[in-house]
Homo-oligomer: A and B are copies of this chain.
Amino acid sequence: MTFVFEDIDDVEMERRRSVVEPLTDAVRDLVDAVIRTEVAEGEIPDVTAAVRAVTERLRSRQSDGPYGVRYTRAGTGMPWGNPAVGVRNAVAPPMRVQAGDDGLRWADVRLGAAYEGPPGLVHGGICALLLDHLLGEAAGADGTPSFTGTISVRYLRETRLGPVHLEARTDRYDGPKKFVTGTLSDADGPSVVADAVFVIPRWARATPPQEAPQ
């Protein structure tokens, strides 16, 4: 596993983000349009060729492998290829994670046609993806690294497409384990609950935290 440090400050990072984000947003919009289009079939091959031409242009200079997680000089993470939050990844809605008090992590996301499972409803696996990611962020709020051991996702009822709200926080510690819980809510209230156990790796256990993060 390689972590890449880019020799840039956080101002430069924000500038770079502002360049790439409109492109990713445009591709998100294209993903939605491909699902919903009803143009005549005869047009599709031509549209396909236009998409391939754009891709070829972007591939004229590209990294060999996946994006990885990069860091600025100040240590700010740039998980820009991430499928939940990545500003370069059109698979991601994206979820923009916010920090609250006491280690709370939360996000408001709008989920459209690309995240549909049953008609008009969010795919249960998309709820699991977003909760898995957010609970991971909440586990990391205390600064101690940890890895997901188990996550249990309980579906209270269906979740409607549209705006959803997510929250997560670390509830308690037990030795090298962190117990993290979270919820996903649609306009009618909580619809999915998640409980996860995160494990602090041996090399990071020197000073195990005893309190929930502040």
User: A residues touching B (Cβ–Cβ < 8 Å)?
Assistant: 1-4, 16, 19-20, 22-24, 26-27, 29-31, 33-41, 43-45, 47-48, 50-55, 57-63, 65-69, 80-84, 86, 88-91, 112-121, 123-126, 128-133, 136, 147-155, 158, 161
Contact, CB under 8 Å: A2 / B120: yes
Chain B residues contacting A48 (CB-CB under 8 Å) are 22-23, 26
Q: How many identical subunits does the complex contain?
A: 2
Contact, CB under 8 Å: A3 / B119: yes
Known contacts A129-B125, A133-B125: A23-B44 contact under CB 8 Å: yes
Chain B residues contacting A50 (CB-CB under 8 Å) are 50, 53-54, 57
State in angstroms the CA–CA spacing of A154 and B63 once bound together.
Answer: 32
Contact, CB under 8 Å: B33 / A55: yes
State in angstroms the CA–CA spacing of A55 and B23 once bound together.
Answer: 12
Contact, CB under 8 Å: B26 / A51: yes
Known contacts A26-B52, A153-B151: A37-B65 contact under CB 8 Å: no
Known contacts A1-B121, A39-B58, A151-B128: A114-B83 contact under CB 8 Å: yes
State in angstroms the CA–CA spacing of A22 and B154 once bound together.
Answer: 36
